[in-house]
Amino acid sequence: MRELSIEFCGVKFPTPFLLSSSPVSNTAEMIARGFDKGFGGVAYKTLGGEHTKIIHPSPRMRGYDYGGKKVIGVQNVEMTTDRPLKDNIKDIKWLKKRYPKHVVIGSIMGFSKGEWRDLALTVEDAGVDMLELNFSCPHMSVEGTGMKVGQAFELVKEFTRIVRDCVKLPILAKLTSNVTDITEPALYAKEGGADGITAINTVRGLAGIGLDDFIPSLNVYGRGAISGYSGPAIKPIGLKCIVELAKKKELGLPLSGCGGAETWIDAVEYLLCGASTLQMTTSVIRYGHRVVEDMCEGLSDFMDAKGFKQVKDIVGKALPNIHETSAFDVSKQGAASYDLERCIGCGQCYIVCRDAGGQALEWDSKKRRPVPDDEKCYSCMICSFVCPVDDLITFKDIKGKKPYTPKPSKL
């Protein structure tokens, strides 16, 4: 196994992988087991103000199954910790004593200016390595907290500044994707003194409605709510946010990615897009701590295969390839290419080309094979991703091909 350490905001992480702030980072004992499996750090479950007692709705979470696959996402209504602050502080101290080389990040959310200050000081005093300011929980029932702060950029700056002025530790601002442009609050966080950005928290969503009772499927005694949604479906949103943040030149802060990471491939993608560390919750909810074993092994093998000596060398390597769509060279055109020797004759390609695509395929019903037409194919590539045979249909460049627009219908 390769050495997988990385420095992030001046702190050395044994591996770039963290348990993110959530039920998976609720107690020292469970975090310790995660460290033993390969997590290099933890963003401890968000600590809130002591004066507002959190009583969680019951039930708190609901798995979202789709197309026969279990738990492609999770909808939750969990808020900040409901454990007493003193118990959490005891856990944090124990963790730091037992695992001095692992990184413990204190996630906090004040319910008033004074509470931001008090929490920051208390958690710093407990011996954490960094702080993460939770400006992003999308369903806090306490007014003026969580995502509401992340959407009011002046408050992001103000609360970051309050914390900056009272602690020396590196500070991360954990931001919400529920804004038009995540780089805006990030710049405010920087102005307030943040050293890095975590993106993203759960995305506001509604996973489903009961067809008998018309109540959202996260049914809290007959009521539902739009609330946090997480898991593989939000990975594209998480990656997008990391790319936008990484490309924002005025920002120039290190990034911790979060959202939908389940496999070593997801992990490498986050690094390639500009994240230096990667946090996760839903994959641990789905599979347990073993997800990090796959990540460490896969990352190590990937580094061997590609000749990367250190994890930091991977960070941001995809960024030069990510552009605005206006940068595409549309003078080059291609078409779908069929390896008909491997075709099983199911006809899916023909159906979707007619019902949703470029009307470019004919069907040879004797041979049960599609009959492609390179000129008519406008390379939407729908056929390639509905075909049940891997890589039977691929994209091919056609030199000199002119962009094709379907002819007017013969109506």
* Residue number with CB closer to ligand FMN (59 or 345): 59
Compute the least distance from the CB of residue 60 to ligand FMN, in Å. Answer: 6
Task: State the nearest-atom distance from the C-beta of 222 to ligand FMN, in Å.
Answer: 21
Place of tokens 């990471």: 261
Q: Which CB atom, from 134 or from 183, has the smaller least distance to ligand FMN? A: 134
Report in angstroms the alpha-carbon separations of 57 from 205, 210, 220: 17, 18, 7
Positive or negative CA dihedral for 130, 136, 138, 143?
positive
Torsion of CA 159, 160, 166, 168, to 10 degrees: 160
Q: Token digits for 285? A: 């909810």
* 346 catalytic per annotation: no
State the DSSP string of 248-307: -TTT---EEEESS--SHHHHHHHHHTT-SEEEESHHHHHH-TTHHHHHHHHHHHHHHHHT
CA distances from 315 to 8, 201, 247, 308 (A): 11, 21, 12, 11
Give the residues lining the site for ligand FMN (CB under 6 A): 20-23, 45-46, 61, 74, 76, 78, 80, 107, 134, 137, 174, 201-202, 228, 230-231, 234, 258-261, 280-283
Q: Is 61 or 251 the residue whose CB approaches ligand FMN more closely?
A: 61
CB of 199 to ligand FMN, least distance (A): 9
- The pair of three-digit structure tokens given for residue 270, joined into one six-digit string: 């986050």
Residue 125: CB minimum distance to ligand FMN, A:
21
By beta-carbon proximity to ligand FMN, the closer residue of 58 and 321 is 58
Which residue out of 9, 137, 273, 383 is catalytically annotated?
137
For 192, list phi and psi in degrees, rounded to 5: -75, -10
User: d(Cα 172, Cα 183) in Å, to the nearest integer?
Assistant: 14
End-to-end CA distance of the chain, in Å?
65
Nearest approach in angstroms of CB 381 to ligand FMN is 28
Tokens linked to 253: 């802060």
Q: Closest separation between CB of residue 107 and ligand FMN, Å? A: 5
Catalytic residues: 137
